[in-house]
Each structure stands twice: as structure tokens, then as C-alpha cells.
Amino acid sequence: GMARPKVVVTRNLGAEAMRLLDRSDLDVVAWHSETQPCDKKWLYDNIPGATGILLLFSEKVDQEFLDAAGPTLKVVSTMSVGYEHIDVKALAQRGIKLGYTPDVLTEAVADITVMLALMAGRNVKETTTIVQNGQWSAYPWAPYLFCGSQLSANWLQPTRTAGFLGFGRIAQSTLARLLPFGFTRALYTGNPSSQPKPARDAEMHAKYASQGLAEFRRVDIAELARESDVVFVLAPGEPSTYHVVNEEFLRAMKKTAVLVNTSRGSLVDSEALAKACREGWISGAGVDVVEGEPHVPADHPLVKEPRCVVLPHIGSATNETRLGMGTMAINNVIAGVLGGNMPAELNMSR
């Protein structure tokens, strides 16, 4: 009969998702383990002649990889919304489609973004450490004991300002969660590498005005730092966003403000952020991503800093969302290989 297109899958994505690949019209070659990454020899033995490849955020797709796969390759599907591990230009030149997983993880990441803003403002790292060390009784109650800064609007701060460095899907869902906290101002910078989109901006302005935001404006990065009570770092990791949050940015922030990064570690200068927390330029920080992750030792400046909560990149880590991402990545590769409509194909012409 007809040759079945080969699909290489670099990780076992769990029985429920993998079942979708049980099809007679595909020749699926999948790495066996859920917990161990595939070894390079296995990968390079198997990718020649593949039509589709499903892989993860931690795996590089460069010229060497594409040469090894050869001219049969039609689609790369990544189980992530970020795609800085993929040489998109090289894919475009070879006419290879790229599938990714936007939307399905937006709400999970927005949840953890708000959680980090609360944790950073309310001294959760410092205070839970005290409890875990059995030292609670060493801190007799006092009116300002363990006090942090409040996220929601309050009698002293009736106006709260959210600042978004990047205003895509996750930032918009984060803002939706903040409106009931009494935020009345939202400021944002575009992704530094993308052009302003006046039509999209106008539409958003109308929408947020009707939802009770007194002010919603695109600003430059200096004004964002100066005016925000919380800065949310939510732009893609790419050369144009490298260390946008640096010493100058952090020094310009309010002393009562909080910084949250749930995008990529490369946007924030870790040394500068540790110094900002330590020296009180800001009230605290919460990061789900760190430059150089997962190699983040216990003596990393941000890990040592009591005013900085560090999470091990768990923004999308809910059972529901990961199953959604796995399903989407699988459906992307199947559709791409068989010539159907991919649920989420990256538009490379932008």
C-alpha cells in the first residue's frame, strides 16, 4: 500500500495523549520515557525521512537538526507557546510548517502570574520559611510584623496601576483577573520587536474603558517602570527583549512595587533584580523563570533573596493544561503531516 508518513515524537506525553497517535495512517516512532529526555543518538537515528516531528521547548531545532531530518520534513510541532528554541527562518526557507500551543495555557499562566504578585507582595517566602523552620513562636505578634504591600486597592491606595511589559494573550488574561482587585489603570509596552498596531490598540482601549479601567495606555519602558504598582514581564524571549529589566529599570520602579516574570528568564537581569530586592528599590519579586534554568543552584542570588519567590517554571503545569498542550501538539503534527488544518500554526510572515 501507500507509504505512511513517519512522525517522530521526542517524549512520551502520557497514555491519554499518546493514544491519539494510534493511527493506521501514520508510522509513529516515539521515545518511550515520560521523565527522561530522548538521547541524541536515538533522535538522529530516527529523524532521517521523517515527515513530522513533535518536540519540546528544551530541544533545539537548528540547521544541523533540519539537515539530519532531510527534505521529507513538512512540519515541526512544539509542545510550548514559546518557540525561541526553533530557527523559524530556517523552517520558512525550507517550507516547513511550525505548530505551537498558544491559548490552551493562557489561563494557567495568568493564574500563576497573579499568584506570584500576591506572594511577592505579602512576604510569603520569608514567612513560610519561618514556619517551616519551626520559628513562628520566636516572632511575637506586632502590628507590623510580617507586613507586606497590598495588591488590591485600599484606603491609602485607591488607584492601583498594573504595568505590562508585553501585552499579548497572557497579559490580557492577567489584567482580567486584576480588575476585581480594584485596578483602575493599566499601562503596557508593546513587545519591543513588534510594530505598534493602532487598530488593535483602539479596540482594546474601548473594551477596557467599558470594563471600568479609567486609564489604559501604551507607554514607553521608562514610564512603565515609574508608574506601575506591579510590573508583569510577559513578552517573548528573543534578542530584542534581552535584559529589558535591568538596573536602570528597577531603580526607576516604586519602592512599594512588585515585579513578576512569567515569560522567560532572559528578559530580566538576575543580579540586578536580586540587588533591587535586597536594597529595597522594590518591595519584592516573583519569578517562574530564571536565566540559565534549570541550572539554578541554592546559592543563586535570586534563590537566596528572601524577597524573591522563585518557582521552577510551573506556569503551565496543571494536569488540565498539560493534557491540553499535549493534545494540541499532537493534533498539530497529525494535521500538518496529513495536509489538514493545524489547530495552531505559527504565522511566519509576520
Catalytic residue ranges? 313
* Shortest distance, position 203 Cβ to ligand 8YV, whole Å: 26
Q: Which residue has the cell 520569608?
A: 126
Say whether residue 56 binds ligand 8YV (CB under 6 A): yes
Which C-beta is closer to ligand 8YV: that of 164 or that of 216?
164
- Name the residue among 271, 255, 257, 85 with its Cα closest to residue 165: 257
Q: In what order do the strands lie in the sheet with 183-189?
A: 215-218, 183-189, 160-165, 230-233, 258-261, 284-287, 308-310
- Name the residue among 139, 61, 122 with its Cα closest to residue 93: 61
Binding residue for ligand 8YV (CB under 6 A) from 80, 241, 270, 327? 80
Which C-beta is closer to ligand 8YV: that of 50 or that of 81?
81
Contact 258, 229 (CB under 8 A): yes
Strand partners, 29: 8
Say whether residue 85 binds ligand 8YV (CB under 6 A): no
* Shortest distance, position 289 Cβ to ligand 8YV, whole Å: 7
Contact 267, 193 (CB under 8 A): no
Which C-beta is closer to ligand 8YV: that of 103 or that of 248?
103
Examine residue 294 and say whether the peptide bond preceding it is cis (omega within 30 degrees of 0): yes
Say whether residue 81 binds ligand 8YV (CB under 6 A): yes
Q: Which residue has the cell 519567590?
A: 309
Which C-beta is closer to ligand 8YV: that of 62 or that of 103?
103
Report residue 83: phi and psi, to 5°: -140, 30
**Span interacting with ligand 8YV, options 14-22, 79-87, 147-155, 244-252, rule CB under 6 A:** 79-87
Say whether residue 181 binds ligand 8YV (CB under 6 A): no
Binding residue for ligand 8YV (CB under 6 A) from 82, 192, 301, 306? 82
**Span interacting with ligand 8YV, options 77-85, 221-229, 238-246, 295-303, rule CB under 6 A:** 77-85
Strand partners, 268: 245
Q: For residue 296, how many other CB atoms are within 10 A of its CB?
A: 17
Sign of the C-alpha dihedral computed for residues 72, 74, 77 and 82 taken in this order: positive
Which C-beta is closer to ligand 8YV: that of 161 or that of 321?
321
Say whether residue 13 binds ligand 8YV (CB under 6 A): no
Q: How many CA atoms lie within 13 A of 181 on its CB side?
A: 21
Say whether residue 113 binds ligand 8YV (CB under 6 A): no
* Shortest distance, position 88 Cβ to ligand 8YV, whole Å: 14
Say whether residue 328 binds ligand 8YV (CB under 6 A): no
Window 246-285: contact mask with ligand 8YV (x via CB under 6 A): ----------------------------------------
Distance, C-alpha 298 to centroid of its chain: 23
**Span interacting with ligand 8YV, options 73-81, 121-129, 144-152, 204-212, rule CB under 6 A:** 73-81
Say whether residue 69 binds ligand 8YV (CB under 6 A): no
Secondary structure of 222-244 in HEC code, one letter for each residue: HHHHHHCCEEEECCCCCHHHCCC
Say whether residue 332 binds ligand 8YV (CB under 6 A): no
Sign of the C-alpha dihedral computed for residues 180, 182, 188 and 191 taken in this order: negative
**Span interacting with ligand 8YV, options 76-84, 137-145, 242-250, 299-307, rule CB under 6 A:** 76-84
* Shortest distance, position 322 Cβ to ligand 8YV, whole Å: 8
Binding interface with ligand 8YV (CB under 6 A): 56-57, 79-82, 105, 313, 316
